[in-house]
Each structure stands twice: as C-alpha cells, then as structure tokens.
C-alpha cells in the first residue's frame, strides 16, 4: 500500500502524515519513506516544540528539563537562539549521542495557543485556563478537547496576589474591592482606612497570560473592566519593583513574583482573612489560586516527551517546583491543631445551638485524622471538578497506586457554602464527596483499591473558609477535603 502526503512528524516509532483521507498515524515498522521530508532513522533524535508563557518558560520548564535529563542518565545543553527562542539538546551521558531536542519559544499564553493551532508547537505553557474560543478552534483542527484531564496538565500552582509598597499601611482588601480599584470605581486609599492619597495602578501588558487571568478571574466576575491609564509592565519582576517603590500604588502579580513588595490579604465583611501562602494555595483555600498548565494536543508525542510528562508528576519534580518559587502538588498531612484559625472562624459565625452541636460532631469525627493538602472544588454551577481538582485526582491516584496510603483510611469530607437551607446544603455536600470518591476509584486500578479504606462524610456549611457574600467566597467554601487516618 502507498500513502502520499505531508509528513507532520515522526516519534521514532510512528509517522504522522497529512493525506487526502485526513491525518493518519502509521506504524513505522516495515515502512519505506521516500521524499525530502523523510526523517533519519539512525540515529533518531526526538524533537519537541514548546511555546507560551514567559512565567513558566524562563525558569520552571528549564529546571524540569534539566532534572529529567539528570534522572534519565542524560546531559542537557542549553543553546540560546535569540531573545525568545532557546533549546535544550539532550544527549546520552556515556556516549554524547544526541537523543532529543526541546525547542522553546517563550512569549505569552496567547502566542503559545496560536503556535499550537498553527502546527508550530507540541506543548503550550499557560498561566490561565484555555478560553472557550481557543477550545473550539483546537477541536476544529483535530487537536482534541484540550480541557480534558489528559490534555490539560497542571505543572505547579501559583496565585494572583494583590501587592502594595511595604510603606503602605493598608494590609487587606476584598476581591470585590480589588475589582473596584482596578475598574476605577475606588481611587483613593482613604476608603481603606489609609491616608488621603490617590491609588496608582500597575499592571502587566494586556496580552500577558496573568493579565488575562485577572480579567477572567476578578474583573469579569465582578462586572468591571480595567480602567484606562494604568502603568503597564512587560515583566512581573519590573511590576513588583515599581509597586515597591511607589508608596501609593497597587498591582497584581503571581505569588512567585512578590519580591520585596507587601502582599495584601483577602478579606470580607464577615471578618475572615485569607493570605496567599504555600498551604492555602495548595489546598485551594486561597480564592485566587492559579494553576500553571501544559496543554497537550490529541496526537502521539515522541516517547521522550511522554517520559518527560510522566516525570513532571514525580516526587523529584515537586522538589524542583518548590525550588523554582512555585507551589508543588505533593500531598501533605496537616494536624488538626495546626488548623486553629479555621475552627475559630467557624465558632465566630455560630448562630444557633444546633450549629454548635454540628460543629462538635464534626470535630469528634475528624479529630483522629489529619487533613491532606489535596482538596477538590467544582466549576461554577456544575458537578464537574475544576482544572486544579482534576489534576489532584491524578496525583492522589498516583500516590495510592504507589502504596503511600496502604493500610490507611481516606475520608472524603464534603462542605457547602451558607446559601440555602441547612438540610439541602448537607445533602449537596454529601453528593460532592461521593463524586470525588468515585473519581478516585475510577483513576485507581481495582487491584489497589482493597489496600486503602475509602469513605465519605459531609458537614454542609459547618466549616466556612471565606465570607459567603461574594461568588469567590462561596466557591472557596464549596469543597471536598481529604482526611487520612
């Protein structure tokens, strides 16, 4: 049989060919390839093109490639091409034989998706979730459903953090008031108990992924648009430095890029304060947690690329993520005694005697256990897990398969926001706990399930994390926690 067309790629085992019948994947064994585009089969060098966010591409991805090479018995040589392009040549340490080439184009999330759609990238580095239009375009050109769990890979965790100068006396702001500042409705620090001084706003360039995340997560949710006349910056470091030096300014940066500026806590009228730190980001208790993504098209990648993606979920990769200033996804166990603020806040909001009885029942149930930092939340108005939680399913399933929880008990505990009747909230929180338990069981092989005892519990609105007055607070409160004994 003869197949003619444009050679799209070769991964060492399979050819991808664009033919009159569409894109075909052809087993390379026994194939004779004729034409100027045919690859050299001996020796084969895998090539992977990676494009997108500078926040990820400047430090995190290079560190992961170097760690992967070291663990795999290879050496990685970085070659700079120009200001936005570089590559890593991976060679066998023993023979110096090249086996792979990771080619990077580091710009922004928009450019990464554009390169993927144009067939010029194999992986996209993104600091925001893929948007609906990008999803539709990717599906149209045969790249698959990019928000599926196998197409959307969370590399590490970060957070959108409001920052001010260390000289600014203001220490907290609500998410809604932050949107009102960025939208120009509030323009003076006296509205927050500060001095009579105008607020100056510093932001990233509007095509940067973090600027788009602010638009998606903060502004659009509150019904505001960014005010005109803000000071724009091309880098997070430059933005943070400018805010540090301008006493009456405000900006929003990644948690990893705070630098010497002062981060503001997120607050609300009920008095809760949530600060961005490693644990609140990892548990997604901080309302503006922002995963860092690799988006992977529905096509066969070279084995070297598949091995690299598997490596990014390993324990050694989690260490590299922490050293790079980001928050890793490795589950941690948190003692009940280390959660005093959560229970103190719950007690402050008690309104009736039955509320106290419910809280007492919850403490008695959870006291013998420890909370895992792995939590689960859902997309707004949906029973579908959000992007970070879909990744958490894979991480927890991987730990169960590895025997981390053999002989132990995992309890999935559902909570709700405070809107609606208490009975209904209790029922909904139980349904959510069961959904998460089912997802974990589906991701773990049947052979591993008998080694871990899994159960569910629910306590409705008994343990709020944030004020229920905004959609951000309610989203944080609707969650499923994992407790281990």
Checking if the pLDDT of 446 tops 80, the result is no
Distance from C-alpha of 156 to C-alpha of 325, rounded to nearest angstrom:
10
Which pLDDT value is given to residue 341?
66
Token pair 């769990």: residue: 149
Confidence of residue 207 (pLDDT cuts 50, 70, 90): confident
Neighbours of 401 (CB within 10 A): 14
pLDDT tens-digit readout, 360-387: 888 888 888 999 999 999 887 778 898 8
Report the chain's mean pLDDT, rounded to a whole number.
89
167 by Cβ neighbours in 10 Å (0-12 / 13-18 / 19+) ranks as exposed
Question: Tokens 């591993």 identify what position?
Answer: 448
Q: Are 477 and 465 in contact (CB under 8 A)?
A: yes
Say yes or no to pLDDT of 352 above 70. no
How far apart, in whole angstroms, are the C-alpha atoms of residue 359 and residue 364? 9
Q: Is 70 exceeded by the pLDDT of residue 56?
A: yes
Under 8 Å between Cβ of 106 and 57:
yes
Q: What is the 3-state secondary structure (H, E, C) of 459-477?
A: CCCCCCCCCCCCHHHHHHH
**What is the band of 351 on the pLDDT scale with cuts at 50, 70, 90?**
low
- Cα–Cα dist 336/340, whole Å: 8
pLDDT tens profile 111-158: 999 999 999 999 999 999 999 999 999 999 989 999 988 899 999 999
Contact 477, 382 (CB under 8 A): no
Q: 43-52, 346-355, 408-417 — which is least confidently predicted?
A: 346-355
- Spell out the residues 6+ positions from residue 353 whose beta carbon is closer than 8 angstroms to its own: none
Residue 40 in tokens: 């050299």
Residue 238 has pLDDT above 90, yes or no: yes
CA distances to 61, 249, 266, 480 from 213, in Å: 20, 20, 17, 24
Residue 224 · residue 182 · CB < 8 Å? yes
Which residue from 336, 375, 383, 342 is spatially nearest to 481, judged by alpha carbons?
375
Q: So what's the pLDDT on residue 36?
A: 78
For residue 423, name the pLDDT band (cuts at 50, 70, 90).
Answer: confident
* Model confidence pLDDT, tens digit, residues 262-299: 999 998 877 788 899 998 999 888 989 999 999 999 98
Mean pLDDT across the stretch 242-259? 95
- pLDDT band for position 349 (50/70/90)? low
User: How buried is residue 414: exposed, middle or buried, by Cβ count under 10 Å (0-12/13-18/19+)?
Assistant: buried
Packing angle of the helix pair 387-401, 422-443 (nearest 10 deg): 50
Of the chain, the percentage scoring pLDDT greater than 70 comes to 95
């Amino acid at each position: 049989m003869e197949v003619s067309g444009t050679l799209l790629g070769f991964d060492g085992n399979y050819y991808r060919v664009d033919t009159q019948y569409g894109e075909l994947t052809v087993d390379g064994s026994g194939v004779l390839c004729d034409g100027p585009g045919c690859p050299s089969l001996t020796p084969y060098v895998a090539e992977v093109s990676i494009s997108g966010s500078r926040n990820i591409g400047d430090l995190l991805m290079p560190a992961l490639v170097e760690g992967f090479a070291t663990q795999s018995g290879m050496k990685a040589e970085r070659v700079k091409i120009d200001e936005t392009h570089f590559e890593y040549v991976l060679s066998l340490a023993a023979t110096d034989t090249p086996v792979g080439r990771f080619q990077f184009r580091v710009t922004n999330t928009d450019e990464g998706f554009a390169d993927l759609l144009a067939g010029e990238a194999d992986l996209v580095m993104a600091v925001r979730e893929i948007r609906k239009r990008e999803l539709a375009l990717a599906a149209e050109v045969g790249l698959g459903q990019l928000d599926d769990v196998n197409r959307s890979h969370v590399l590490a965790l970060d957070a959108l953090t409001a920052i001010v100068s260390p000289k600014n006396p203001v220490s907290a702001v609500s998410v809604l008031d932050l949107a009102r500042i960025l939208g120009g409705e509030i323009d003076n620090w006296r509205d927050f108990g500060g001095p009579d001084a105008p607020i100056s706003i510093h932001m990233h360039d509007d095509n940067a992924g973090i600027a788009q995340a602010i638009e998606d997560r903060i502004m659009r949710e509150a019904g505001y648009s960014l005010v005109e006349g803000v000071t724009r910056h091309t880098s997070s470091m430059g933005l943070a430095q400018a805010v540090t030096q301008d006493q009456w300014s405000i900006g929003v940066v990644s948690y990893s890029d705070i630098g010497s500026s002062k981060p503001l806590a997120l607050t609300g009228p009920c008095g809760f304060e949530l600060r961005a730190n490693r644990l609140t980001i990892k548990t997604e208790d901080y309302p503006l947690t922002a995963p860092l993504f690799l988006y992977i098209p529905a096509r066969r990648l070279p084995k070297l690329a598949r091995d690299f993606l598997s490596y990014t979920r390993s324990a050694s990769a989690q260490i590299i993520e922490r050293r790079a200033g980001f928050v890793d996804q490795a589950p941690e166990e948190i003692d009940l005694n280390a959660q005093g603020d959560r229970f103190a806040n719950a007690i402050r909001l008690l309104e009736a005697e039955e509320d106290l009885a419910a809280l007492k029942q919850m403490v008695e149930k959870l006291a013998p256990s420890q909370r895992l930092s792995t939590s689960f939340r859902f997309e707004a108005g949906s029973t579908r897990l959000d992007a970070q939680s879909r990744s958490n399913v894979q991480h927890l399933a991987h730990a169960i398969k590895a025997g981390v929880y053999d002989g132990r008990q995992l309890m999935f505990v559902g909570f709700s926001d405070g809107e609606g009747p208490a009975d209904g909230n209790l029922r909904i929180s139980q349904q959510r706990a069961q959904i998460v338990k089912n997802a974990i069981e589906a991701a773990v092989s049947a052979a591993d399930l008998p080694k871990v005892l899994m159960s569910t519990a629910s306590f409705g609105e008994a343990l709020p994390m944030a004020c229920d007055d905004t959609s951000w607070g309610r989203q944080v409160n609707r969650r499923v926690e994992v407790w281990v004994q």
